[in-house]
Amino acid sequence: MAGWRAVVGVGGGIAAYKAAELVRALSQRGIQSTVVMTAAAQEFIRPLTFAALSGRKVITTLFGSTPDEVLASSVEHIAVAREHDILIVAPATADLLGKFANGLADDFLSTLYLAFDRQVLLAPSMNTAMWLHPATQANAAALRARGNVVMEPEAGELACGETGPGRLPEPGRIAEEAHYLLARRHDLDGETVLVTAGPTREPIDPVRFLSNRSSGKMGYALAEAAAWRGARVILVSGPVELEPPLHVELVRVETAREMRDAVLSRLPECSIVIKSAAVADYHVANVPTQKLKKTATRLSLELDPTPDILAECGAEIERAQRGQLLIGFAAETENVVAEARRKLKAKRCHMVVANNVAAEGLGFESDENEVTLVTQAGDVIEVPRASKREIADRILDEALRLRLALYSRS
Ligand code: PMT
C-alpha cells in the first residue's frame, strides 16, 4: 500500500495544529506528505513543525524572494500537482472553500487546487454559523458536485466557545478517508455485503453477562475491505471497543437474539453475507430482574441454546434462491478442516473460513490471522499468516471467484 503521495494544504484556522497529527497519521498508513501552508496558517503554526514531520520542504509562498526563486516557483504548483495522488486540505476554512468553489487563485494552495486533476479531500473547520451560512453550504455543495470529497465537520465545543458543527474531523479519520480514496477498487460495486462481528453478551442478571474474547477485529477488517472495494456494507456488531470503519452502516446489537433479528431482517437486501461474529451458543434460560445475591453455596446456571443464525441464513438463502453467497466462520482448536466441512454442509454455506484459534497470536483478539477456506466447490485454500485486513481481502477474492464458479455451472 506504500508509495502514495499526498499534498496536505493547511489553512489558517485554530485547528491548523491538528494538521501535524494528520501528516503523522498519513505516514503511518504509508502515505508521504508534502505540506503547503497558506499565509494565514503560518500565523497559527510554524512551517518547521511540518518540515520535521514530513521530512520535506514546506511550501509557504507562490513566489520566492530572488529572481531565480521566482522563476522556479512560477511552475512549482504545476509540478506539485502532477507529482501527487491526492490533495487534502485540513483545516479547509470558509475562505478556502469559497476560493476553490469559485476558481480564485491568488496563492500557492489555490493555484495548486486549480491545477490538481486527481482526488481532492477537504476537511472543513470553522465557527458553526460560518459553516451553516448559505454561502458556505453552497460552496461545499458546488465542490461536492464537482467530485471533491468534503467531509462533514464534527459537532462539539468550538475554540470560540460556541457549540455546534464546525470542529475539524479527527486527523485519524481524515487519514482513513484519504487512504480509502487512494486504495478503493470497484470489484464489489453494486454488491451489498452484510458482515457480523464481535462477541454477543448474554445476560445472567441486570449487571452480569456471558460472553467471549472476540475483539471484532476480523469482522471490522472484512467490513472495511468490502467497503473499500465498492460494496454497500452493513456491519452487525456485538459490543466491541473498535471505531467502525468509514462508509459502513453500523447496526449495534448485544445478544444473539438481537443479532439474529438484525441479520434476518436485512438478509433480503444482501448479495454476500459473512458471519465472523463469535455468537454465544447458550443464554441463561430465565434472567432474573434483580441482581443475583452472593451466597456461600454453589450457583448453577440453566442455559438454553441461542438461535443458530448461520443455519437460519443458510435455510433462508436456499429457499429464496436470490443467488446470495453465505460465508461462515469456524473457530476450532482441533480437526479444523474436517469441522469446517461439517459446518459447510450442516449450515448450507458456500464457504467456511476455518480459524485455528489454538495457535499462539492468531484468532481471537490478535491483529493477525491464518485461515483455511473450505468451499462448496470442494476447494481447500490455505491462507498463510497475515494481518486481518489482508486476510479479509483474500476471503473476498475467493468469495468472488467461488460465486463465478458456482453460478456459471447452474
Ligand atoms: O473478533 P476477533 O478477536 O478478531 O476474532 C476473530 C474470530 C476468532 C472471532 C473469528 O475469526 C471467528 O473465528 N469467528 C467465528 C467464531 C465462532 O463463533 O465460531 P463457531 O465455530 O462457534 O461458529 C460457527 C459459525 O456459526 C460462525 O460463523 C458463527 O458466527 C455462527 N454462529 C454460531 C453460533 C450461533 N448461535 N449462531 C451463529 O450464527
Q: Which of 71-85, 100-114, 256-270 has the lowest mean pLDDT?
A: 71-85
Residue 189 has what pLDDT?
A: 96
Residue 70 has what pLDDT?
A: 64
Q: Residue 125 in contact with residue 92, Cβ under 8 Å?
A: yes
Question: Which tens digit of pLDDT belongs to each residue from 93-104?
Answer: 999 999 999 999
Mutate to test the pocket of ligand 1, among 255, 313, 329 (most ligand atoms within 8 A of CB): 329
Residue 410 has what pLDDT?
A: 53
Which atom of ligand 1 is found nearest the CA of 198? 1
Minimal-distance CA residue to ligand 1 atom 35:
308
- Listed in sequence order, the residues at least 6 apart from 102 whose beta carbon sits closer than 8 Å to its beta carbon are 139
> What is the mean predicted confidence (pLDDT) over 130-149?
97
* Of 189, 183, 210, residue with least CA distance to 199: 210
**In angstroms, what is the span from residue 331 Cα to ligand 1's centroid?**
6
Strands 368-375 and 380-387: antiparallel
Task: Enter the DSSP assignment of 329.
Answer: E
Q: Which of 116-125, 222-231, 293-302, 328-337 has the lowest mean pLDDT?
A: 293-302
Is the pLDDT at 296 greater than 70? The verdict is yes
Q: Which of 75-79, 212-216, 353-357, 400-404 has the lowest mean pLDDT?
A: 75-79
* Of 227, 220, 147, 217, residue with least CA distance to 180: 227
Is the pLDDT at 67 greater than 80? The verdict is no
Domains of the chain from N-terminus onward: 4-183 (3.40.50.1950), 192-287+304-409 (3.40.50.10300)
Residue 404 has what pLDDT?
A: 87
Please give the positions annotated as active site: 160
Count the residues in the chain.
410
**Residues 115-145: b if buried by 16+ CB within 10 A, e if exposed:** bbeebbbbbbbbbbebbeeeebeebbebbee
- CA 260/CA 147 separation, integer angstroms: 38
> What is the mean predicted confidence (pLDDT) over 303-310?
97
- Listed in sequence order, the residues at least 6 apart from 84 whose beta carbon sits closer than 8 Å to its beta carbon are 5, 6, 7, 34, 116, 118
220: helix, strand or coil: helix
Residue 71 has what pLDDT?
A: 65
Residue 356 has what pLDDT?
A: 85
Percent pLDDT > 90 in the chain is 85
Q: Residue 351 in contact with residue 344, Cβ under 8 Å?
A: yes
Question: Which tens digit of pLDDT belongs to each residue from 3-19?
Answer: 999 999 999 999 999 99
Strands 303-305 and 248-252: unpaired
Residue 408 pLDDT class (50, 70, 90 cuts):
low
Classify the C-alpha dihedral 370-374-379-380 as positive or negative.
Answer: positive
Q: What are phi and psi of 194, to 5 degrees?
A: -105, 125
Q: How far is CA 112 from CA 65, 108, 131, 138, 346, in A?
A: 19, 6, 24, 22, 59
Grid cell at residue 374: 473450505
Residue 283 has what pLDDT?
A: 97
Residue 295 pLDDT class (50, 70, 90 cuts):
confident
- CA 224/CA 123 separation, integer angstroms: 21
Residue 396 has what pLDDT?
A: 97
What residues pair up with 368 in beta bridges, in sequence order? 387
Q: What are phi and psi of 103, to 5 degrees?
A: 70, 25
Q: Cα 230 vs. chain centroid, distance in angstroms?
A: 12
- CA 287/CA 309 separation, integer angstroms: 21
Residue 74 has what pLDDT?
A: 66
Residue 72 has what pLDDT?
A: 65
Question: Which tens digit of pLDDT belongs to each residue from 341-378?
Answer: 999 999 999 999 999 888 888 889 999 999 999 999 99
- CA 232/CA 248 separation, integer angstroms: 7
Q: Mean pLDDT in the chain?
A: 94
Residue 294 has what pLDDT?
A: 85
Minimal-distance CA residue to ligand 1 atom 26:
310
**In angstroms, what is the span from residue 281 Cα to ligand 1's centroid?**
10
Residue 61 pLDDT class (50, 70, 90 cuts):
confident
Mutate to test the pocket of ligand 1, among 279, 309, 347, 385 (most ligand atoms within 8 A of CB): 279
Is the pLDDT at 202 greater than 80? The verdict is yes
Q: Residue 392 in contact with residue 224, Cβ under 8 Å?
A: yes
